[in-house]
Amino acid sequence: MKEERNLRKVFDQHVKLEEFFTGFSVKSQKPVQPQQPQNNDIIAELKQLAKEVDACRKCVLGTTRTNAVPGEGNPNADIVFVGEGPGADEDAQGRPFVGRSGQLLDKIIIAMGLKRSDVYICNIVKCRPPENREPRPEEIISCLPFLKRQLSLIRPQVIVCLGAPATRTLLETNKPIGQLRGKFYDFNFDDFSPPIKLMPTFHPAYLLRNYSDENRRKVWEDMKTVLAELGLPVGAKHSEDRPVPKK
């Protein structure tokens, strides 16, 4: 009986979580963003990078995974979402954020008035850590050049770091994500280019595990700050005329 009540509670929480982000979604079937011109060089470089990721055996993860998950999305994206590492679903499909966390991330992106194909999505490590453990420092260090190359090719206006491992890696800090989220930081991928704004927020998996109005509102606040930085209107729940982030 108690077990049934607990299950009911979990189920109700998930329904609420779904409703929360769906409430912000753009219900239009029309594309929100016109096709952006795609730079052939960037596409070619990203393809080349994906091949290198596929062939990479610099750390043990390259030998235990099924498929490498280099990342995917718009090569001209203004926003790049960076997660921690592929899970089982991602490992099976070779695509980032396609499991439960990915479904929530999709909802968040739609709630922002964007489509998944408008943004770029990748991870700090490109191969699944066994049993979904956190990637180890040596694994992150050997994989990081791939992410830095992706960022330098795409040159987004904003990087959204999903969760502590991605945030701590790119900001080189050990501070808790609760303390880091909600503010922009400068991310420098080399000594010559202007910094990119980096927004840390909670990982969708954390949100799924730690359901609370407060946590999901915090993530939404973070995404509104990102939209404001890109000059997009905030809070226009069902606007079909939402301007598109331009390079």
Judged by the rule CB under 6 A, the positions of this chain that interact with ligand URA are: 83-87, 90, 96-97, 99, 101-102, 123, 205
Report the nearest approach of ligand URA to the CB of residue 231 (Å). Answer: 28
Judged by beta carbon, residue 32 or residue 166, the one nearer ligand URA is 166
Grouping H, G, I as helix, E, B as strand and the rest as coil, residue 5 is helix
Nearest to 168 by CA among 154, 155, 179, 157: 179
List of E strands, the chain: 72-73, 79-83, 120-123, 158-162, 185-187, 196-201
Sign of the Cα pseudo-torsion (42, 47, 50, 56, in order): negative
Q: Most distant CA pair in the chain: distance in Å?
A: 63
Grouping H, G, I as helix, E, B as strand and the rest as coil, residue 188 is coil
Judged by beta carbon, residue 84 or residue 118, the one nearer ligand URA is 84
Helices (H), ranges, 56-157: 61-64, 88-93, 100-111, 137-154
Contact (Cβ atoms closer than 8 angstroms) between residue 84 and residue 124? yes
Report the nearest approach of ligand URA to the CB of residue 98 (Å). Answer: 7
The residue type found at 84 is E
Judged by beta carbon, residue 96 or residue 156, the one nearer ligand URA is 96
Report the nearest approach of ligand URA to the CB of residue 159 (Å). Answer: 14
Burial class (CB in 10 A: 0-12, 13-18, 19+), 183: exposed
Judged by beta carbon, residue 91 or residue 232, the one nearer ligand URA is 91
d(CA 226, CA 118): 14
Judged by beta carbon, residue 32 or residue 164, the one nearer ligand URA is 164
Judged by beta carbon, residue 112 or residue 124, the one nearer ligand URA is 124
Report the nearest approach of ligand URA to the CB of residue 121 (Å). Answer: 7
Report the nearest approach of ligand URA to the CB of residue 34 (Å). Answer: 28
Report the nearest approach of ligand URA to the CB of residue 150 (Å). Answer: 14
